[in-house]
């Protein structure tokens, strides 16, 4: 699989990585055997980047990753985790060096490592991105050898632009997909200029952009696609990319004819993201080995023709932009 340098670090990662939220929790039942087999399949396909967080399944995702990597041995992939969401209440004042260090120590134990490859602040409240003390504290964790690098995960383009003004931030994780194009319009050029790695998350709009959903689709009660459509538990943009379900289904039908012959719609959606040079790695989630392999296959797709890019942009502008462009 093709690789990209990970921003200003000395690491390189495959441009398609693995999003490990669903193998942790909040996506309905995924058995331990399926979770492990899915991650093995992603790594067998050549992926060398994994994104997780301490709260995914309350640490289960991190522990599954540790178990799978122990079983495999050999070269370790780059494992990015996140901290902050264990705070309760989740408020800016909780983002102190001491609290983050406590969370980091737990992630070190879960992942069975001495040092985290990348610690990302996990979509903190906006003021945290402007707090120099938080970033000084992260630098302290780096000096202690507990983290190799620090980055941020953000909800909005404005937060991304604030975050990359802080010294030491090597990466920004942001939602970027066929239904969320603002980062390309207003952020990617700045990230590239500063050598900041960009991690594109929710690339399949929570599965919508695989083209498999219909108005009759249902989801388990413990799947965020049941309980967070309006932001009841966390930012609504994390569920279906914040697009109302019926509108999204119509856009998917209009996108379907653009899928290259022989490709899945999921691979098309991922390849569309990779057309943007500023993206370092795209991190589709998966719950089965088949899904992980299908997502890895996007790496082999040819660049999309300009006419396809233009048609996708028109669908976004007409159907999706009025729903989301002003929000994130
Ligand atoms: N705040 C944050 O920092 C934050 C928030 C969200 C996500 N993330 C990260 O970004 C990653 C990716 O986002 P995401 O997992 O939310 O959404 P996503 O990648 O857009 O969608 C993943 C879901 O789509 C379905 N799917 C995946 N590949 C498929 C395929 N080839 N064919 C058919 N269905 C497929 C699976 O669910 P079903 O089979 O059940 O449909 C899978 O769980 C996460 O895993 C996580 O690492 C971070």
Among 253, 254, 236, which Cα is nearest to 244's? 236
- Work out whether the CA dihedral 162, 21, 326, 321 comes out positive or negative: positive
Q: Which of 122, 284, 293, 328 is the best mutation target for the ligand 1 pocket, counting ligand atoms within 8 Å of the beta carbon and taking the most?
A: 284
Ligand 1 center from residue 206 Cα (angstroms): 5
How far does the centroid of ligand 1 lie from the alpha carbon of residue 308, in Å? 24
Name the CA radius of gyration of the chain, rounded.
Answer: 18
Contact yes or no for 14/3 (Cβ under 8 A) = yes
Residue nearest to atom 25 of ligand 1 (CA): 207
Q: Burial letters for 310-322: b for 16+ Cβ neighbours within 10 Å, e otherwise?
A: ebbeebbeebbee
pLDDT for 153 equals 98
Q: Ligand 1 pocket, 212 CB below 6 A?
A: yes
294 lines ligand 1 (CB under 6 A): yes
For residue 296, the model assigns a pLDDT of 97
pLDDT value at residue 92: 98
Mind listing the pLDDT tens digit of every residue in the chain (328 residues)? 999 999 999 999 999 999 999 999 999 999 999 999 999 999 999 999 999 999 999 999 999 999 999 999 999 999 999 999 999 999 999 999 999 999 999 999 999 999 999 999 999 999 999 999 999 999 999 999 999 999 999 999 999 999 999 999 999 999 999 999 999 999 999 999 999 999 999 999 999 999 999 999 999 999 999 999 999 999 999 999 999 999 999 999 999 999 999 999 999 999 999 999 999 999 999 999 999 999 999 999 999 999 999 999 999 999 999 999 999 9
Q: Is the beta carbon of 124 within 6 A of some atom in ligand 1? A: no
CA 64/CA 205 separation, integer angstroms? 24
The pLDDT value recorded for residue 206 is 98
List pLDDT tens digits, range 117-171: 999 999 999 999 999 999 999 999 999 999 999 999 999 999 999 999 999 999 9
Going from the Cα of 242 to the center of ligand 1, the distance in angstroms, rounded, reads 14
Rounded to the nearest 10 degrees, how much is the dihedral formed by the CA atoms of 77, 286, 152, 136?
A: -50
The Å distance, Cα 286 to ligand 1 centre, comes to 6
Which residues on neighbouring strands pair with residue 281, listed in sequence order?
Answer: 199
Give residue 227's pLDDT: 95
Q: Which CA distances in Å does 50 have to 61, 113, 170, 236, 293?
A: 11, 15, 16, 23, 15
Known catalytic residue at 316: no
Catalytic residue among 56, 95, 176, 316: 56
Q: Is the dihedral of CA 311, 313, 315, 317 positive or negative?
A: negative
């Amino acid at each position: 699989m093709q690789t990209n340098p990970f921003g200003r670090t000395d690491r390189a990662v495959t441009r398609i990585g693995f999003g490990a939220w669903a193998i942790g929790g909040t996506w309905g039942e995924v058995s331990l055997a399926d979770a492990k087999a899915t991650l093995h399949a992603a790594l067998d396909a050549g992926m060398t980047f994994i994104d997780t967080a301490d709260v995914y399944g309350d640490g289960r995702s991190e522990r599954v990753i540790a178990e799978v990597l122990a079983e495999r041995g050999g070269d370790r992939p780059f494992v990015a985790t996140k901290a902050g969401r264990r705070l309760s209440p989740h408020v800016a004042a909780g983002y102190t060096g001491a609290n983050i260090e406590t969370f980091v120590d737990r992630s070190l134990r879960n992942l069975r490592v001495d040092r985290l490859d990348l610690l990302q602040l996990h979509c903190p409240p906006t003021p945290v991105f402007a707090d120099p003390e938080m970033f000084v504290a992260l630098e302290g964790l780096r000096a202690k050898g507990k983290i190799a690098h620090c980055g941020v995960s953000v909800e909005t383009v404005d937060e991304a632009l604030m975050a990359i003004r802080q010294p030491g931030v090597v990466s920004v994780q942001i939602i970027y997909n066929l239904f969320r194009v603002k980062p390309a319009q207003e952020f990617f050029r700045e990230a590239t200029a500063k050598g900041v790695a960009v991690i594109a998350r929710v690339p399949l709009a929570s599965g919508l952009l695989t083209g498999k959903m219909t108005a009759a689709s249902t989801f388990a009660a413990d799947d965020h696609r049941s309980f967070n459509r309006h932001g009841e538990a966390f930012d609504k943009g994390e569920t279906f990319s914040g697009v109302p379900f019926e509108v999204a289904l119509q856009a998917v039908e209009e996108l379907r004819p653009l899928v290259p012959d022989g490709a899945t719609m999921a691979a098309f959606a991922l390849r569309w993201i990779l057309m943007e040079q500023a993206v370092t790695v795209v991190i589709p989630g998966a719950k089965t080995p088949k899904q992980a392999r299908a997502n890895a296959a996007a790496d082999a797709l040819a660049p999309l023709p300009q006419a396809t890019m233009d048609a996708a942009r028109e669908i976004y502008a007409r159907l999706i932009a009025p729903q989301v462009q002003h929000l994130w």
